[in-house]
Amino acid sequence: MAECFLMEVCVDSVESAVNAERGGAGRLELCSSLLEGGLTPSLGVLHVVKQYVKIPIYVMIRPRGGDFLYSDLEVDVMRKDIELMKSQGADGLVLGALTEDGRVDAELCMELLAAARPLPVTFHRAFDMVHDPAVALEALISLGFERVLTSGCDSSALEGLPLIKRLVDQAKGRIIIMPGGGITERNLQRILEGSGAQEFHCSARSSRESAMKFRNTCVSMGASFSAPEYGLKVADVSKVRTLNAIAKNTL
Which pLDDT does position 2 carry in this prediction? 47
Q: Which tens digits make up the pLDDT trace of 79-107?
A: 999 999 999 999 999 999 999 999 999 99
Residues 33-53 pLDDT 10s: 998 889 999 999 999 999 999
Q: Which of 199, 176, 184 is nearest to 243 (CA)?
A: 184
Q: What class is the 4-247 domain? A: alpha beta
93 bridge partner residues? 59, 121
Q: What pLDDT, on a 0 to 100 scale, did the predictor assign at position 224?
A: 63
- 57-71 pLDDT, tens per residue? 999 999 999 999 999
Q: What percent of the chain has pLDDT over 90?
A: 88
Distance, CA of 47 to CA of 68 (rounded, Å) = 27
Higher pLDDT, 65 or 219: 65
CB burial of 3-42 (b: ≥16 within 10 Å; e: otherwise) equals eebbbbbbbbbbebbbbbbebbbbbbbbbbbbebebbbbe
Strand partners, 173: none
225 burial class (0-12, 13-18, 19+ CB within 10 angstroms)? exposed
HSE value, Cβ hemisphere, 13 Å, CA-based, for 100: 1
pLDDT of 1 higher than 50:
no
pTM of the model: 0.95
CA distance 178 to 189: 14
- Say what percent of the chain tops pLDDT 70: 97
Is the model's pLDDT at 3 over the cut of 80?
A: no
> How far is residue 199's CA from residue 243's CA, in Å, rounded to a whole number?
12
pLDDT tens for residues 155-198?
999 999 999 999 999 999 999 999 999 999 999 999 999 999 99
**CB 145, CB 175: distance < 8 Å:** yes
Residue 250 pLDDT: 80
Average pLDDT, the chain: 95
Distance CA 154, CA 63 (A): 23
Domain locations in the chain? 4-247
